[in-house]
Structure 1
Amino acid sequence: MTRTAPPATAAGFSREQRRALTVLGVSQALGGAGMAAGITVGALLAQDLLGSTSLTGLPAALYTTGAALGAAALGRFCQRFGRRPGLALGNAVAALGSAGVVAGAAARWPALLLAALFVYGAGTVTGLLARYAGADLAPPGRRGRAAGTVLFAMTLGAVAGPNLIGPTGALAHAWGIPRLAGPFLLAVAAYAAAALVLLVWLRPDPLLLAQSREPRDAGAGPGTGPRSPALRAPGVLTGATVMITAQLVMIAVMTMTPVHMTGHGQATQAVGLVIALHVGAMFLPSPLSGLLADRIGGRRVAAAAGAVLLAAGLSAGLAPPDSVALLACALVLLGVGWNLALLGGTALIAGAAPAENRAAVQGLADVGMSVAGATGGMASGLVVGGSSYPVLATAAGALALAVIPAVALSSTRRHP
């Protein structure tokens, strides 16, 4: 017999849900610092070792490709064994990949660096998958806010990470390691600590507890993988389309911004500041975006994301390369638009995926995001190498408008 969930508190969350959000928040703050390393200096490391601007998008392509495989594998792993071991494993993999990046940079061995970035990417996807764990035990009308709370927790580490380029670079130099590898030293420690926090304290497991409380399809199997009807659900398809488009646009512009700035004489500290503001904008609005998804619906939030991403692309394309302030504003808009798309899409998927294969379906949706990120990362270097950064940013912003017709078509199918 299906157990009935205990009544929620006045805040809308049960005791188990509040505990899960607290533990997830601590792990996300740690993981955010590790994630910022790849965003800030991954492309610059590749440029240094490979000596080619057209290949500077390769690191983003590799770690987002790794993230695609990691999302699929971790989604199935969580479905079978629960969120606690799955998320802990993902953070441990990210720590291993970070250590490999440091070793590759120290040895000046591009092959090791690129392989380690792939492993790093497979682990960093854990930070995004954790948003689903935040929503596992939430009431239907508060799933957006729960997912937003988990993403918001990444803000502290994600903003601090890029601003620690100087201190971590100095530490790396003192150890005989290239300065640009310094943020990855921080990532090793941060991801290892996040894995430990999850493994020890994420009890009871939110996904397993949610499954025990929700009715299951009598004909459903053990639920180790996504089934075709679940993938065709309107909320899943729309949510995945929105997140995939936003990820491609965001990764393409973000990857080449550090290269664009340093190519026009900007110092690495200025680059770090711009990326820190961008990463902060990716996660800081999460509680508000989640609240909007709960109040007005994920589809309307996703449509707003398309407009904000268009504004971001146009702003980045028109900003003078010597204006740190204008580039920072453009990258903040890029982060806000991505956040709206992510929370809007997450709310749609969390509400549509069935209990018996929820984690696997969610992981597969994030596979699409990672593939889109890999495409955007690789194409960004080629576009800038063949034309310019303004062309890349403007084209990416225009592509973001595809979110609006996708949402409109989905609404038409639901309400003929």
Structure 2
Amino acid sequence: MSAPALERAQVQHRTVRVLALGQVLGGVAFGATVSLGALLAADISGEESLSGFATASVTLGAALCAIPLARLAAARGRRVALTLGNLFALVGIAIVITAAAMRVFPLLLVGVVLIGAGNAGNLQSRFAATDLAESAHRGRDLGVVVWATTVGGVLGPLLLTPGEALGRVVGMPPLTGAYLFSIVAQTAALALYLIALRPDPLLLAQRLARDDARVALPGADVDRPVAARYAMLAVAASHVVMASVMAMTPVHLQHLAHAGHAGHGGATEAVTLLVGITIALHVLGMYGLSPVFGWLADRWGRVRVVLLGQAVLATSLLIASTWPGERMAVVAALFLLGLGWSASTVSGAALLTESTPLAPRPRRQGMSDTLMTASAAVGAVLAGLVLGQWGYGVLALTGLALVALTTLLSPLGRR
């Protein structure tokens, strides 16, 4: 192995480890936002139909910043883009806590938008794992980094109940105590990227491609725009289905918990416990098997694993629509929803990367994240309206249309 190739392999191994640890911290930080956003929006606004605006604001913030952060990464490297995202999220968390204390709904949405902007930086971690990866291991490396979110993503929602207890001790507004853990995790992730993500993987990949064609990454100059567009569609559609149903699940579970505690005390604790467990299992489904799906995408093919994800998503939606009033059915549906999302997005991201030459790759990755998050923002708003008018079961059924579309267009991914 030549010296540049050896350098690339060594840096790639270290980069994956750093990104994985950063995803653990990011999962803790964003776990509270996912779980509490809809509840805070419904509580402060007084209208359950507006609860979807919280998730919509997260995705809107990510959509607005995905392309600018991707361009920044292409010019200055992944480290700068990731740390800027951490700063956005910290400012957003402070604004959300202030809005909850003042009970100002528009200010709440501003803070959540900034948290979403931070999530745009966090999303780039999975692409950063592919900058120096060999084609045969691209899905695996991407899956390992996505998997690392499992630790923080499962732990984050489970911190809701202790976070509320801690928040009461220090005088935090209701439903915001868990953000204390988010602040600590975001600060640690920022320091990690600044100190440890050196050399920058994207800048090194660009330098190797310029300096020595012999060590250029396999497939770095391949351009398959049709396959790339299908990959964007598969990732975006799967994310819309997942985000729309997941965003409304805390509100739906709140109804079930209150119904189960009618005439009894402890309803708030029951809600946070039920929501925390359900979202934790959902996040486990999202990230827990991502290395397996990455390995399958490398061995079995990207498009086949996308289709596997669509089959799992369809199963989840059918369970949720058939038994919307059963807590265990909703929990099972959310777990499967996460599994289907994982299979589709890991394989879709790998397909997008290998279908795009190195130079325009950050731009296309930013476009994919923008499409994914912007469409999910619209989906979350509509999901709140559907939940208010027709209920959780009908909401789950609407996602089947996007699953069918992704499946029917799958031949485009093989072009």
Verify: 1:213 aligned to 2:208, yes or no.
yes
* Alignment partner of 1:55 is 2:61: no
* Aligned twin of 1:87: 82
Q: Which position in structure 1 is the counterpart of 2:341?
A: 338
The answer to whether the 8 A contact 1:69-1:122 is kept is yes
1:314 aligns with 2:318: yes
Deviation per residue, 1:124-170 (Å, 9 max, x gap): 12222100101111101111111111111111110001011111111
- Residue 351 of structure 2 is aligned with which of 345, 348, 366? 348
User: Residue type matched to 1:281 in 2?
Assistant: G
Deviations 1:216-250 (A, max 9, x none): 9x9xxxxxxxxxx96x7123101100001001100
Question: 2 CA distance for matches of 1:395 and 1:163?
Answer: 29
Alignment match, 1:6:
5
- Pick from 250, 255, 280 the counterpart of residue 242 of structure 2: 250
Residue type at the aligned position of 2:347: G
User: Residue 166 of structure 1 corresponds to which residue in structure 2?
Assistant: 161
* Structure 2 counterpart of 1:76: 71
In 2, the alpha carbon distance for the partners of 1:410 and 1:360 equals 19
Alignment identity in percent? 39
Q: Which 4+ residue blocks in structure 1 deviate beyond 6 angstroms?
A: none
Further displaced range: 241-250 or 93-102: 93-102
| 8 Å contact from structure 2 (residues 231, 413) kept in 1 | no
Aligned to 1:363: 366
Distance 2:392 2:324 in 1: 11
Question: Residue 18 of structure 2 contacts residue 192 of structure 2 at CA under 8 Å; is this kept in 1?
Answer: yes
Distance 2:141 2:53 in 1: 34
Amino acid at match of 1:244: A
Q: Which residue of 2 is the match for residue 273 of structure 1?
A: 277
Query: Would the aligned equivalents of 1:145 and 1:287 in 2 still touch at CA under 8 Å?
Result: yes
Deviations 1:300-336 (A, max 9, x none): 1111111111111111112242x33221110011000
Which whole-Å CA distance do the structure 2 matches of 1:279 and 1:385 have between them? 25
Partner of 2:184: 189
Distance in 1 separating the partners of 2:80 and 2:402 = 37
Counterpart CA distance in 2 for 1:4 and 1:305 is 40
* Matched position secondary structure for 1:125: helix
Contact preservation (8 Å) 2:309, 2:344: yes
| Paired amino acid for 2:184 | A
Amino acid at match of 1:138: A
Q: TM-score scaled to structure 2, two decimals?
A: 0.91
Partner-residue secondary structure (3-state), 1:265: helix
How many residue pairs end up in the alignment?
393
Given the alignment of the two structures, is residue 403 of structure 1 paired with residue 406 of structure 2, yes or no?
A: yes
Query: Is the CA contact (8 Å cut-off) linking 2:227 and 2:412 kept in structure 1?
Result: no
Q: Partner of 2:261 in structure 1?
A: none
Question: What is the CA-CA distance between 1:215 and the residue it aligns to?
Answer: 5.4
Kept after mapping to 1: 8 A contact 2:323/2:329: yes
Q: Which residue of the partner structure matches residue 294 of structure 1?
A: 298
Trace 1:171-182 onto structure 2 (pairs within 5 A): 171-182=166-177
In structure 1, distance between residues paired with 2:324 and 2:61: 34
Asked if the contact 1:4–1:213 (Cα under 8 Å) also holds between the matched residues in 2, the reply is: no
CA distance, structure 1, for counterparts of residue 308 and residue 386 of structure 2: 27
Give the whole-Å Cα distance in 1 for the aligned partners of 2:4 and 2:380: 43
**Equivalent residues in 2 for 1:96-115, closer than 5 Å:** 96-115=91-110
Instruction: Check 1:318–1:280 CA distance in 2 against 1; reply closer, same or farther (3 A cut).
Output: same
**Match of residue 392 from structure 1:** 395
1: distance between equivalents of 2:256 and 2:199?
52
The answer on whether the counterparts of 1:274 and 1:324 sit within 8 Å (CA) in structure 2 is no
Q: Which residue of 2 aligns with 1:23?
A: 18
CA contact (8 A) 1:128 1:151 kept: no
Q: Which amino acid aligns with 2:356?
A: A
Amino acid at match of 1:286: S
Query: SS where residue 133 of structure 2 aligns?
Result: coil
1:241 paired residue number: 233
Calculate the aligned-residue CA RMSD, in Å.
Answer: 1.8
Which segments of 5 or more consecutive residues in structure 2 lack a partner in the other structure?
214-221, 259-269
Residue pair 2:228, 2:413 contacting (<8 A) in 1 also: no
Residue in 2 that maps onto 1:262 = 254
Match of 2:263 in 1: none
Which residue does 1:223 correspond to in 2? Answer: none
In the alignment, which residue of structure 2 is the partner of 1:133?
128
Q: d(CA) in 2 for partners of 1:295 and 1:409?
A: 20
Structure 2 counterpart of 1:339, one-letter code = S
- Given that residues 293 and 342 in structure 2 are in contact (C-alpha distance below 8 angstroms), is that contact kept between their aligned partners in structure 1? yes
| Structure 1 position 4, deviation (Å) | 7.3
Aligned ranges 1:121-160 → 2 under 5 Å: 121-160=116-155
TM-score by length of 1: 0.91
Deviation of 1:251 (Å): 0.7
8 Å CA contact retained: 1:311, 1:397: no
Cα contact 1:62–1:114 (8 A) shared by 2: yes
Aligned to 2:265: none
- 2:230 touches 2:412 (CA, 8 Å); kept in 1? no
Kept in 2: contact 1:168–1:179 (CA 8 A) = no
1:285 matched residue in structure 2: 289
Q: How does 1:30-41 map to 2 (within 5 A)?
A: 30-41=25-36
